[in-house]
Amino acid sequence: MPINRKHRIELIFGMSAVMVAGMARAVLDKTALSYDYLISLLLMTVYLMWLFASRRRFPHKGMRRILTVSALLMMLWNTVDTLNNEFITKDSDLSRQIWYWYYLPMVMLPILLLMAAFYIGRTDSYELPRKWFIAFIPVLGLAVAIGTNDLHQLAFEFENGSMKRYRCGPLYYCAIGILIFSVVGILFKTLRSCSKRQFSRSFMLPAAITALGGIYFISYRISDEPMLFQRMYDFPDFTCLFFMCFWESLVITHMLPSNADHKEFFSASSISAGLVDDEMEIYLRGENSPRPTKDQLTEACVKEVLSGSNVLKVQPVVGGYFYWLEDISELQELNERLEETRSYLEEEHVMLDTANKLEESRRRTAEQNKLYDSISERLNPEFESLSKLLNELPADEDDFRAVMKRAAIDGVFIKRCSNLLLLAGSSDHIDSGELGLSVGESLGYLELSDIWGQADIPKGRELPAETVLFMYELFNGTAKCALDDVHAIMVTLRLDDGIDFRIELDCECQPVKDETFSRAEELGGSIETVREDGSTYVIFTAKGEAVQ
């Protein structure tokens, strides 16, 4: 980005002031006129202008602090030099001491600007490590050593005690070495931050200023008669101007990034944002940024404001507010697609739920049909027996009554056995109370045939479903076998150490068929038939594991 108009004016004014100060010194040096105040005023103006421009261009607090201290050192150096030239006798001890202490800012300035260069490319929160400030210790030590040169003359060795003829010592060259090292360090740091193309295009100006400083230093040391630009600028002034011009050359060529044109950059950008004052008047915004109203900005201070496909947000800053607009058109489009997907999934869910219900209904129907088929198959002999009885009803009334009583006994068995089979289809265990209800209802129908019965069966105990069915079938088969001879039936069930199911008949008969014994063994139990005192006992026992 080219330098702006304000920066251009500052450069022209600064260069003009420096040139006027140099020409005034060169012209008035051979006269009796006092010119130091004029030169000091011009250079002080240049230093102040550079100070304020640097604080404006570089937002990083650390860099601004260092540049401020550097500018203050230049102004202090200029002030002390002016006072020395105007009020202190040359070649005096005080003048010599002031001349020694010129080297304090001369070694401090390059180190300060080198540290400022290390802020290039850093974030605003970056601070130089504290250990770097250790570098000031040898620098201050060198300045103090030069200031006490009269004690050791390691910086300057005078001939015959005159300040006009002297030889430079090792401390002087150490100071010059710090200057050269700092210039090279600043160049190295800035060159690392710029591209190859930028280096080839912009390196000439800093290199020319560095070369000019080198020429001044070499000619200052080897020539007895000062050249024109040596007469224009004293060594202290030239050192300050050299570092200031060297720093400005890095800014002008953009090798040193600055923040001089942030307003223009912000205005020319495509960012949808801006700055407003406390009265919600827009101070700065992007050229293509929508212009929100005061009411929208005021409302956005409390909550986000939706305007079409944009969301307006406001954040308070020093002196006003920063607002920005977020484009949520893609998010809105995504929400619409998600809504369509949700509707589609809801329809799919309804269809799948209906299909699952139909499948579940079909499965339950199939299971019920399978269960009904198994019940029908298991009770088929009973159905055939009942059908035979009903198809061969006798004409005699007494015989008809007897057949119907027998049919009622078969019917209640079919009913109760079907119920137990349905319970067995949904669970592997049946409550013992169901067996009691089934035996009790059958005994009630046996009373129609003048057969009196009693059942003592506890409830609330879970028994294997097949065992419950077997015990009820055992009771029904025993009762039917002894139907013509029996007058009373007693049924008991004990579940203390296992299953003890007893059927007592008041007649002597053989009520148990042979296949019943084998079925009892398959269920893990056994059947025992006992006859004594005119009664028959049918006892079914099973192990304790059969009871829960």
Instruction: Print burial letters for 329-340: b (CB count within 10 Å at least 16), e (below 16).
Output: eeeeeeeeeeee
- Note the pTM of the prediction, 2 decimals: 0.50
- Of the candidates 243, 258, 273, which is a domain's last residue? 258
Lowest mean pLDDT among 61-70, 255-264, 324-333, 337-346: 255-264
Which has more pLDDT, 394 or 343?
343
Structure tokens given for 263: 């307003």
Closest alpha carbon to 320 in 341, 294, 347, 342: 294
137 part of a folded domain: yes
Rounded to an integer, the average pLDDT of 20-42 is 76
CATH of residue 64's domain is 1.20.1070
How many domains does the chain contain in total?
Answer: 3
User: How far, in Å, CA of 195 to CA of 322, rounded?
Assistant: 33
Shared-domain flag, residues 162 and 234: yes
Going by their DSSP bridges, the two strands 320-327 and 310-317 should be labelled as antiparallel
Residue 80 belongs to domain spanning: 5-258
450 part of a folded domain: yes
Shared-domain flag, residues 278 and 215: no
| DSSP of 116-146 | HHTTTT--TT----GGGGGGHHHHHHHHHHH
> Tokens 């269960």 belong to which residue?
371
Tell me: pLDDT of 137 over 60.
yes
Rounded to an integer, the average pLDDT of 489-508 is 87
Please tell me the predicted confidence (pLDDT) of residue 373.
64
Shared-domain flag, residues 294 and 234: no
Tell me: pLDDT of 546 over 60.
no
Torsion, CA 376, CA 441, CA 460, CA 541, rounded to 10: -80
Please tell me the predicted confidence (pLDDT) of residue 422.
78
- Of the candidates 208, 235, 258, which is a domain's last residue? 258
368 part of a folded domain: no
Residue 1's pLDDT band, with cuts at 50, 70 and 90, is very low
Shared-domain flag, residues 103 and 123: yes
Please tell me the predicted confidence (pLDDT) of residue 369.
62
Shared-domain flag, residues 154 and 81: yes
371 part of a folded domain: no
Give the CA angle between residues 200, 205, 211 to the nearest 5°.
Answer: 110
User: How far, in Å, CA of 221 to CA of 242, rounded?
Assistant: 17
Shared-domain flag, residues 10 and 155: yes
365 part of a folded domain: no
Tell me: pLDDT of 59 over 60.
yes
Query: Which segments of 123-234 does DSSP mark as H helices, in order?
Result: 136-147, 149-152, 170-193, 196-202, 204-222, 228-232
DSSP 8-class letter at 32: S
For residue range 151-165, list pLDDT tens digits in order: 888 887 776 655 666
Identify which of 27-31, 52-56, 213-217 has the greatest average pLDDT.
Answer: 52-56
User: How far, in Å, CA of 333 to CA of 297, rounded?
Assistant: 26
Shared-domain flag, residues 417 and 455: yes
Tell me: pLDDT of 313 over 50.
yes
- CB neighbours of 247 closer than 8 A, spacing ≥ 6? 113, 256
360 part of a folded domain: no
Please tell me the predicted confidence (pLDDT) of residue 377.
66
Identify which of 146-150, 286-290, 392-396 has the greatest average pLDDT.
Answer: 146-150
Closest alpha carbon to 429 in 401, 393, 465: 465
Shared-domain flag, residues 116 and 44: yes
Shared-domain flag, residues 251 and 290: no
Going by their DSSP bridges, the two strands 488-494 and 452-456 should be labelled as parallel
Residue 260's pLDDT band, with cuts at 50, 70 and 90, is low
431 part of a folded domain: yes
Which has more pLDDT, 264 or 534?
534
Other beta carbons within 10 Å of 38: 15
129 part of a folded domain: yes
User: How far, in Å, CA of 95 to CA of 83, rounded?
Assistant: 10
Rounded to an integer, the average pLDDT of 326-336 is 81
**Burial classification of residue 176, based on how many CB atoms lie within 10 Å of its CB (0-12 exposed, 13-18 middle, 19 or more buried):** middle
Tell me: pLDDT of 214 over 70.
yes
Which has more pLDDT, 540 or 376?
540
- Of the candidates 236, 258, 280, which is a domain's last residue? 258
Which sign, positive or negative, has the C-alpha torsion 15, 21, 26, 27? positive
Shared-domain flag, residues 510 and 430: yes
> Tokens 């008991």 belong to which residue?
492
Q: Do residues 544 and 497 make contact, with C-beta atoms less than 8 angstroms apart?
A: yes
For residue range 446-485, list pLDDT tens digits in order: 887 788 888 888 888 888 888 888 888 888 888 877 777 8
